[in-house]
Chain A
Amino acid sequence: MKKQNRLRLLGYFYGQFFPAALLITLASAYLLAKLGQQALFLIFWFKVIAMGLIAGYIHQYKRQEFFYYSNQGLSKVILWSLVLAADLLLFILILVLTAYTL
């Protein structure tokens, strides 16, 4: 499978919950701005738990679609690893920017 097709599939998979993930990240940034850096531990777990709930939702209601990805050579583990890594990077970037602008 072409690399660009894989990237497009990853983009589609991330796109299914990107608005929710971004909302959680922005809420985390807001909490950081309001509560300060001592709340980082709380914010981290807030993000982890929220993402866990999203992953659970996707597994429950979109599980049929995982066969589409696996027939393209993208296993669940690869999908989640790459997408969650991208989301984590975005989360860290936004928190760093928030902390920097405070």
Chain B
Amino acid sequence: MIHVLEADGIQLEFGSRPILSDVYIKCTTGKITGLLGRNGEGKTSLLHIIYGHLNASYKCIRFDGTFVQSPFKNPELLRYLPQFNFIPGNFSLKRVFSDFDMDFSLFEQRFPEFKSKYNSRIKTLSGGQRRLTEIYMILKSPGHFAILDEPFSQLSPILIESIKELIQSEKAHKGLIITDHMFRHILEISDDLYVLSNGKTHKTNSEQDLERLGYVRSL
């Protein structure tokens, strides 16, 4: 069954400065929805609003047409990868996999570099390994949708390719909203693409739209 996540009518102001005013974004299971925007356009704020961690003056977040006030209360509906490390450094991989009720052997099979790291604490992993673990937990744990905020930033090209493969394989099971400044990766894996510009989302159909919307100078 296909599920649909929609966000619209979002209005956000910081003081008297309007940040988001005319937003519509739609994500369906089985698809990757990319979100691009220049720094300070409000991408992370928009994602926080969809997740329910940030209050907006007005918002309408719907799952299969039903309004949901705080999606974060139901992780089986929506999970969130923030742009920073969020797994406590003191936790071991064993503990994290137990908390998320997931099988470490499958992870180890896919990423052999984690062999013998089962009892390692998160803070002892390299930055890339730590990020990879976080992305894996969000993508592989049960849920209809997941938001990934900057999953590729500060990762090596090889790791980025691994993560792209992981994302592609997981889209069969869930709907994904992804934003990152490494826009070529987003262009490559997205089925639908939105650009956030001047507080509004613009659904783009071609790479030329990115230029027209002022996101890139030339491709």
Report which A residues bind B (CB closer than 8 A).
1-2, 5, 8-9, 12, 64-68, 70-73, 75
Contacts and interface: CB of A to CB of B under 8 A. Distances in A.
A2 B138 CA distance: 17
Given A64-B82, A65-B88, A68-B86, A9 B99 contact: yes
Contact of B80 (A5, A65, A71, A73): A71
Contacts, number: 46
A67 B86 CA distance: 6
A64 B72 contact: no
B99 A5 contact: yes
A72 B75 contact: yes
Interface residues of B, number: 22
Contact of B99 (A64, A66, A67, A72): A72
Contacts of B53: 70
A5 B72 CA distance: 18
Contacts of B130: none
A70 B80 contact: yes
A64 B75 contact: no
B87 interface: yes
A75 B73 contact: yes
A65 B99 CA distance: 14
A9 B72 CA distance: 17
Contacts of B88: 12, 65, 68
Contacts of A64: 82, 84-86
Main secondary structure of the interface of A (DSSP, over half): helix
B124 interface: no
Given A2-B101, A5-B98, A5-B101, A73 B84 contact: no
B153 interface: no
Contact of A71 (B70, B79, B85, B98): B79
B74 interface: yes
Contacts of A71: 75, 79-80, 86, 100, 137-138, 141
B140 to A, nearest CB: 12
A73 B82 CA distance: 16
14 contacts: A1-B99, A2-B101, A5-B101, A12-B88, A65-B86, A67-B82, A67-B86, A70-B53, A71-B75, A71-B80, A71-B100, A73-B73, A75-B70, A75-B73
